[in-house]
Chain A
């Protein structure tokens, strides 16, 4: 494996690290990774660095870079929306890799705001063959909240459960809940990047599937209030034509920032397997020469 610092964009203002395998797979795309929120490009708990090196072991090159104004990259001159700028930065990264490495297809991995950026890039630029999006956009079914409540109640101690029942009785006296059953604050991305209207989301997913894009989503255990059971994606989108072509994994043992080594290893395994499977599918889809 080799790693090389690359600078690109206007006056080399964007900074990244290109991780290359000793032996690349034929016609392999480059996997792009960038910031999750305000974190530098190394990702939460250095996940992107570990993922890049794991991908290289599997024969895949990757570029992790800082978006304008984040990490080691300088801010962009002209003001645009955050998502618009992110997509523009991704496109500069792809331009650079096309010019210097001759690669024309890309995959994108993103967590949180990185997943939102990946979604919009996938919908904007045909060079992107697929995206692996962790805790990006997610839509609740009618069962999401009831299942969430049941899971929280079951997770608490018997005392917590009793107090939960007492709080719902007429004339109940307020009883402080334990840490375990306390509802976490709303997830920040929902306020920063609200879900697209579900109709628009459906249309874009169908469009992506029609053009053969490889779409994978992972929802972690941190999103319990918004995604609470494995069949939620099916319950919301099961009747849509794209449903069987899009992968959505519910991973309650992984948290939003992969704080445990178990979570990091699982995330790396899932992403690497997806990227390698993409290569296999792409090769199978290529007409024989």
Chain B
């Protein structure tokens, strides 16, 4: 499979002709990036307005159905960041969303590599390394793991509704999948069991390797973070999570800033039309936290 970068369409030529190219460049722009054979889809929201030029922000998707539910949320957050002067990049890991690959290609190590690739790409696009990484759900833990090993980590890590306990997360996925099957299929007799080896979770397959990766993701095994990294945990029980994290060996000296934040979103929500589409109040709070970065 080959993914190509977009060529100039006629509408873009028209824009050049009418002198509106600079305006077009400030609009959110879809593009493909990454290594050959591991093409990633990204959406760059360039900073706009008088405050443009502030450090950029990288958004790290959650996993599976949660990424679909959070798509609108991340788009609105990226737009807010851009209007506040921070260019923002949201992207799909390999094997997810609009990127190349199948969901059975997804591994934790691969997703971590994609976070690094996206951070480099954002630096290339904006001329400066992103100052803040925002990760949601499993994406928060990917951001953590990459920040722990990065030669140039961001100044701030914003962990939103993070998944600290991999085995518990897998169990929640299993339960939610079973409930969604019963609700969606109307009749239990119509259920079809998944093939062996692969776990199905709310419409997405988890390869045995990814299951093992997530099962091994426990607070005890998380790598220590650089001391200077400003790490904010944003979750309904953030204080408890921060206390739990600092009790781990190797993390006792790290300062976590807990922000208790509840919202009306259910990221694993399977129903298309039900519920809130974007947690507006939560996004205002998150945007404010990014804005604090000097």
Interface residues of A (CB under 8 A from B): 1-9, 11-12, 15, 17, 36-42, 44-46, 49-50, 53, 71-72, 74, 96, 99-100, 112, 151-152, 155, 179-180, 184, 188-189, 192, 221-225, 252-253, 255-264
15 new A-B contacts, CB < 8 A, other than A100-B9, A180-B182, are: A1-B1, A3-B4, A5-B5, A6-B6, A7-B12, A12-B12, A17-B98, A40-B68, A42-B68, A155-B187, A255-B184, A256-B184, A257-B203, A260-B194, A261-B195
Q: Is the CB of B28 within 8 A of A12?
A: no
Q: Is the CB of A1 within 8 A of B2?
A: yes
Which residues of the other chain, B, contact A188 by a CB distance below 8 angstroms? 272-274
Which residues of the other chain, A, contact B30 by a CB distance below 8 angstroms? 5, 7, 15, 72
Q: Is the CB of B11 within 8 A of A11?
A: yes
Q: Is the CB of B3 within 8 A of A180?
A: no
The closest CB in chain A to the CB of B64 belongs to A45
B65 close to A (CB within 8 Å): yes
Known contacts A38-B72, A40-B71; A252/B190 CB under 8 A: yes
A-B pairs, top 6 by smallest CB distance, nearest first, are A45-B203, A188-B273, A37-B272, A224-B186, A262-B192, A255-B184
Q: Is the CB of A258 within 8 A of B203?
A: yes
The closest CB in chain B to the CB of A148 belongs to B186
The closest CB in chain B to the CB of A43 belongs to B68
Which residues of the other chain, A, contact B15 by a CB distance below 8 angstroms? 11-12
Interface residues of B in 5-62 (CB under 8 A from A): 5-7, 9-12, 15, 20, 24, 27-28, 30-32, 41, 43
Known contacts A2-B4, A72-B43, A222-B186; A260/B181 CB under 8 A: yes
> In the bound complex, what is the Cα–Cα distance between A146 and B240 (angstroms)?
53
Output the least CB separation between B49 and chain A (Å): 17
Q: Is the CB of B272 within 8 A of A151?
A: no
A-B pair count, CB < 8 Å, reads: 161
Which residues of the other chain, A, contact B27 by a CB distance below 8 angstroms? 11-12, 74
The closest CB in chain B to the CB of A252 belongs to B190
The closest CB in chain A to the CB of B75 belongs to A72
Which residues of the other chain, A, contact B161 by a CB distance below 8 angstroms? none
Which residues of the other chain, A, contact B148 by a CB distance below 8 angstroms? none
The closest CB in chain B to the CB of A223 belongs to B186
> In the bound complex, what is the Cα–Cα distance between A4 and B205 (angstroms)?
25
B223 close to A (CB within 8 Å): no
The closest CB in chain B to the CB of A179 belongs to B182
Instruction: Give the bracket for the number of chain B residues in contact with chain A.
Output: 35 or more
- Residue in A74, A155, A180, A260 with the greatest tally of chain B CB atoms within 10 Å: A260
Which residues of the other chain, B, contact A225 by a CB distance below 8 angstroms? 186
Which residues of the other chain, B, contact A7 by a CB distance below 8 angstroms? 6, 9, 11-12, 30
Known contacts A40-B68, A46-B204, A71-B71; A5/B272 CB under 8 A: no
The closest CB in chain A to the CB of B97 belongs to A42
> In the bound complex, what is the Cα–Cα distance between A151 and B272 (angstroms)?
25
B188 close to A (CB within 8 Å): yes
B107 close to A (CB within 8 Å): no
> In the bound complex, what is the Cα–Cα distance between A91 and B194 (angstroms)?
39
Q: Is the CB of B180 within 8 A of A263?
A: no
Give 9 CB contacts A-B under 8 Å. Answer: A4-B7, A5-B6, A37-B273, A42-B97, A42-B98, A49-B98, A222-B184, A260-B192, A262-B194
The closest CB in chain A to the CB of B205 belongs to A261
> In the bound complex, what is the Cα–Cα distance between A260 and B193 (angstroms)?
8
* Residue in B9, B41, B71 whose beta carbon sits within 8 Å of that of A96 in the complex: B9
The closest CB in chain A to the CB of B277 belongs to A38
Output the least CB separation between A259 and chain B (Å): 5
The closest CB in chain B to the CB of A260 belongs to B192
B249 close to A (CB within 8 Å): no
> In the bound complex, what is the Cα–Cα distance between A49 and B38 (angstroms)?
16
> In the bound complex, what is the Cα–Cα distance between A7 and B5 (angstroms)?
12
> In the bound complex, what is the Cα–Cα distance between A258 and B180 (angstroms)?
11
Which residues of the other chain, A, contact B180 by a CB distance below 8 angstroms? 259
Which residues of the other chain, B, contact A224 by a CB distance below 8 angstroms? 186-187
> In the bound complex, what is the Cα–Cα distance between A9 and B10 (angstroms)?
10
> In the bound complex, what is the Cα–Cα distance between A256 and B27 (angstroms)?
35
Known contacts A3-B3, A5-B6, A152-B187; A257/B272 CB under 8 A: yes
